[in-house]
Structure formats: C-alpha cells, structure tokens
Amino acid sequence: MSKQIEFFFDVGSPTSYLAYTQLPKIAAACGAGIVWRPMLLGGVFKATGNTSPVTVPAKGRWMTEDIGRWARRYGVSFAFNPHFPINTLTMMRGAVGYQMRQPEALLRYLEVMFRAMWEAPCNLGDPAVLAATLQQSGFEAAAFTALVGDPEVKAKLIANTDEAVARGVFGAPTCFVGKQMFFGQDRLDFVREALA
C-alpha cells in the first residue's frame, strides 16, 4: 500500500489504547496500511524532558475524565488501570520481539496487552500477572521470557525509541503520515485528512 500510518505507541498509554481501537477503521476507510512502531514511552520522556500528565494532579484528574469521554464517543470499553503508571519495558520488548520473530502474532499480542491494561485492568508490571495473562491467551510464558531477553530484541526497542525522538516524538501516541506528525488520539481526524 502506498498510503500508510506509522503508529508510535506504548501499551502503558491509555491514549495509545484509544488510538489503537480507531486506527484500523481509519486505515481501512482510507485504503492505507498501519506500520506498528512499538517504543518505550519512558525512554521518550527521559530523552525529551517530558513527563506523564498524571504528574500534574489537576491535569491527571481532567485527563482521566477526558479519556472516559473519548472512550464513550468511540464506543469502546475503558477502565482506568489502578496500577498506573506501570513499567512497560518487558511488554514493549514483547511487542518488538513478536514483530521481529513472529509477525503474525503481533496484533493478537497487542490486543491481549491493551485489553489487560485498559479494559479489564491488571497489574501487568507484576511478572506473575503478565505471565498468567499471556498463558491464558495462548502465549507460552517461557518462550515469551526468552523472546524479551533476546539482545537483538532489546536493541531494536532502543532503536525504535531513539528514532521516535529523532523524528520529534515527545509522547504517545504519535502518528506519521509521510513527514507529517500528529500527536495524541484526539488528532485522528487530521490523520484521516492527511491520508485523503
């Protein structure tokens, strides 16, 4: 496909989850492909001096309400994770690892992670909970552990994150259509316009 959306995301971002629920519909309507670009949001924050909105209490309260409004508008299930923020390093290595080694499993993995994070929220920062969640969804926990420990997988996540920062990314989700950058799930209408 000549038209494509590059989607830089982290499963620990509730707004990445909202964008994830909408991008396939937008891509299908516009005859575009999605290029999934897993990155580590914590690494982006560190490199850019940015922080999570929840570090400002008033902004965090507002954002939680606003995410709920967007979820209702999109007609998607959403429950704020009481364990937020969660260190997503292992999960994002998993996303990169499946993309590299078993690309046919990537979308199923992302569905499991996003749902467990933002629909029936679990503490995926707990290795035992993460392993059980994967096992219940048909992923072999031991194989996952080996995958996320692979030095090439670790290096690829770092490279994705570094590339995101080099291209101007400061948070998640961030979409690119060509050289145009769109930050936030509330900018998806502009993504659609850029594809048109």
pLDDT in tens, the chain (196 residues): 589 999 999 999 999 999 999 999 999 999 999 999 999 999 999 999 999 888 899 998 999 999 999 999 999 999 999 999 999 999 999 999 999 999 999 999 999 999 999 999 999 999 999 999 999 999 999 999 999 999 999 999 999 999 999 999 999 999 999 999 999 999 999 999 999 9
- Please count the structural domains in the chain: 1
Q: Supply angle C-alpha 86, 170, 101, rounded to 5.
A: 60
Question: Residue 5's closest CA among 156, 171, 174, 184?
Answer: 174
State which residues form the domain around 100. Answer: 4-195
Q: The pTM is what?
A: 0.96
Helix (H, G, I), strand (E, B) or coil at 50: coil
CA distance 4 to 10: 19
Return the CATH number at 157: 3.40.30.10
In angstroms, the Cα distances linking 113 to 50, 181, 191 are 24, 25, 24
